[in-house]
Structure formats: structure tokens, C-alpha cells
A = this chain, B = another copy of it.
Amino acid sequence: MRTRIYNARILTMEKGREIFKGEVQIEDGQISCVKPYGEEENRDDINKGIWDHEINAEGNLIMPGFKDAHTHSPMTFLRSYADDMKLQEWLFDKVFPAEAKLTEDDIYWLTKLAVMEYLTSGITSSFDMYKLKHETARASQEMGFRMVLCGDINDFGGTVQDVENDYLKYNKDRDSLISYRMGFHAEYTTSRELMEQLAEIADKYQTPVCVHCSETKKEVEECRERSGMTPVAYMDSLGLFRHGGVLFHGVHMDEADFDIMKKRGMYVVTNPASNLKLASGIAPVKRYLDMGIPAAIGTDGPASNNCLDMFREMFLVTGLQKVYCDDPEAVPAADVLQMAVTNGAHAMGLTDCDCIAPGKKADLILIDLTQPNMQPLHNIEKNIVYSASKQNVKMTMVNGRVLYQDGTFHIGDTKENIYENANRIAERILGE
């Protein structure tokens, strides 16, 4: 399958490379050539006849897709169900009881709904932490979407044997759309013994461990009471981050926590909309970046956000830092794009999805520059971070396949069918 996207502006996201006019050529899901145009070139007629699929970008922008580096896709059924509550009540009184009723089939349909929304926001892969992950994997694979599954064991479900099995099962085939990283839910839901067992398995495969961490003040305080340490220091003392790790949230941090993360080569994933909505706080993103700790961006699940929209998150990342640091220069647009694309890919272990270059996966999006919010065109990168919204996503391609274009989904199922199932599940579980 040979595809060519021509007459494009291209933002490769390679370090230091500016936007240029040209085309991207794709063969069997991989980028085969990135071709800048000369001044006089006949762009409409390159190797005519050899292409299975030609897309005229009409001057719009091709860039790598966004990476949603922390989410819980099947939580779509809880959207707008339990808003305006504190995190701990929200989680224990509303979310956990509803989640207990989920079946495998539910997970499948609810994931499909989430994937549709990722596609509308130019997200080409997600880092998903949820139970019954084989159903999340099945839905994603059927739709052609790239999903990195994240271990989620805790005292209420899952064993380290599950983690090892999943690690081996989902990382077998390098070309699969599905992969897996080790992880667990959180320090406050997991026994010391289980964490120690997980540290051993991570050691065995020399692989990072991913976990919710330091999301609320309460969580940090309670961990200090139990262990005498911050969650980061405590988990590190158990050996969990010997091969790196990814912290989801990382809002309430000590000086020493940053040092540990830096030393261990860890990533943080910030979830600004969720942290606002649950009144958790504002993560010190500028501090992470200044320390050289790569920060990525996640939407968190649709129960706490409530949407899966990288544009909203990107504006929040920079806007909140500007106020938080009292510095309007904090975290400028180029840094935010790097967080949403490159850092996200690396935090998820997707080393082939971080930029547009030959040999990389064709996980691409086409940004519509002909909407009024993108005009005038004097700084396209800033326009994307400060002005763009889902309305600007003209096309989302994963692994060389167009899954969403001009408002239409190409996902092997109808949207009506997916909505019908999602509503049926929400009604059954939430009793409305």
C-alpha cells in the first residue's frame, strides 16, 4: 500500500527543523520519504501512477499525531455522571462502585467510543490504564488505533503474574498496534508486598514502571504518615524505578522528588484539565522541564476531564504555568508541542512515532489551516497551541491508514452502533 500526501506544509517535529512545503510518502504504514518541494516543482505529478492513495493537503499542515500519555478509555460511560466532587469521594463513592459492574463487552464498546474521540482530536495513540485490557486491545486493534496498555494492578485486582504475562503477550510483535508497559494503580491502593513483587519483575525485564503519583495533597500526606516518605521517595526505596518510570500527575512534589526522577531518567505526564476539575492543583511543569525531566501530556479519563481533547490540554499546560510561575514566558508553544508529541511517544515507549522521518510509523494528522482561528498564518506552531481545536483536525492517520477524515470515521463500525452500545451500557450501570 503506497500513499502520498502532497501539497502540504510539514512540521516534522525533528529538533530545530522549521515548517516547510513538501510531501510525505508512505509505504505499508511506514514513512518512506519526506520530500521538500523546490520552487518550480510540478507537485501534482510526482511518480504518477505508482500510488494506491493520494491525498492533496491543499496547503494544510501535516504533523505527527498527538500522544495521549495518560488516560482510562473505557471510562467514557461516566462522562458527566459525577462531576463537581473531591477526588477521593469521587473515586471511592461513585467511580469504583460503577466500575465494578463493567463486563468485558462493556470495555470493548466504551473503548471504541473513546478512540473515536481521540481521532477527532488528532490523537494517534493513547497510554491506557484500565482493567480487562484485552478488550481495550481488541477494540483498538479492530479500529486500527495504536494503544499502549499500562499495568494497573492494586490490592483490589491483578497480580504480578498478570503483569508479566501481559508484558510478554503484548510486546511479542513489534509491528502490532498494541504494546504494554508495566505499571500499577497507585501507592495508596497497593500493598508494599505487591509493589516489591512488581519491582522484581521490572528488574527481571529491566523495564520502567508507570504509576499514578502525587496527584493530591492528601495522597502525599497519607503516604508520609504511613511510610515517613513522599510517594516518589517511598516507591523508589522499594526499587520500583531502577529502570526508569512514568509518573502520572506529579502535582505535589518535594525538591528531593525531582532529584530522584532526574537520577532515574523518569518521565512525568501532566493532566491539567483533570487536575483543575478535581481541584487537585497545578503541576510544576516548568520546573520539570528546567530540570531536564521530560514532561508529556495526558487527558486522564473522560470521567474526570470530561473530554479527550489534546488542544484543550495544550493550552492549559502553557496557560497554567504562566500564572503558576507568574511568568508569561513560561513553557512556550514549541515546548508544548514537544510535550504533546515527542515526549509523549517516548514516555509510552513508542520510539518510532515521535516525528516525521523515513522509517518512522505513519501516525500523522492534517491540521486545517483554512479555519478562521488559524488566520493570519504568521506563526503556525503558536496558532496550534494557543488557538486550535478539534475543528482543525481534517484527517487522522494511524500506521498509514486514514481512520478519520473530514468528519467521517473509517473504523470498521458505524458511529450510530457505537453510541447505541455506549448509551445502553451507561443506562444499565448508572440506572438512568
Partner-B contacts on A (CB < 8 A): 76-77, 79-81, 83-87, 90, 113-114, 116-117, 120, 273, 275-282, 302, 305-309, 311-312, 315-316, 318-320, 322-323, 325-330, 332-333, 370-373, 375-379, 382-383, 386-391, 415, 418-419, 422-423, 425-427, 430, 432
Contact A370 B419 (CB under 8 A): yes
Contact A323 B279 (CB under 8 A): yes
Contact B277 A328 (CB under 8 A): yes
A322 contacts across to B, CB distance below 8 A: 84, 276-279
Contact B120 A391 (CB under 8 A): yes
A84 contacts across to B, CB distance below 8 A: 322, 328-329, 332-333
Contact A426 B376 (CB under 8 A): yes
A383 contacts across to B, CB distance below 8 A: 79-80, 306
Interchain residue pairs with CB less than 8 A apart (14): A80-B378, A80-B382, A83-B386, A84-B333, A117-B372, A278-B328, A279-B325, A302-B387, A305-B387, A306-B387, A372-B415, A375-B422, A389-B390, A390-B391
Most buried by B among A114, A278, A390, A432: A390
A378 contacts across to B, CB distance below 8 A: 79-81, 426-427, 430, 432
Residue of B whose beta carbon sits closest to that of A302? B387
Q: Which of B278, B312, B330, B377 contacts A389 (CB 8 A)?
A: B312
A280 contacts across to B, CB distance below 8 A: 323
A320 contacts across to B, CB distance below 8 A: 276
Pairs A-B, 5 closest by C-beta atoms: A276-B319, A80-B382, A307-B387, A80-B379, A116-B372
A427 contacts across to B, CB distance below 8 A: 376, 378
Most buried by B among A281, A307, A375, A379: A375
A208 to B387, CA, bound (A): 33
A114 to B313, CA, bound (A): 24
Q: Which of B76, B308, B315 contacts A273 (CB 8 A)?
A: B315
Beyond known contacts A83-B333, A307-B373: 18 more, CB 8 A cutoff: A79-B383, A79-B386, A80-B379, A80-B387, A81-B378, A87-B328, A90-B328, A275-B323, A277-B319, A279-B330, A281-B323, A306-B387, A307-B387, A307-B389, A370-B419, A372-B415, A376-B427, A389-B389
Given A387-B80, A389-B390: A371 and B323 interface contact (C-beta under 8 Å): no
A116 contacts across to B, CB distance below 8 A: 372
A371 to B422, CA, bound (A): 13
A419 contacts across to B, CB distance below 8 A: 370, 372, 375-376
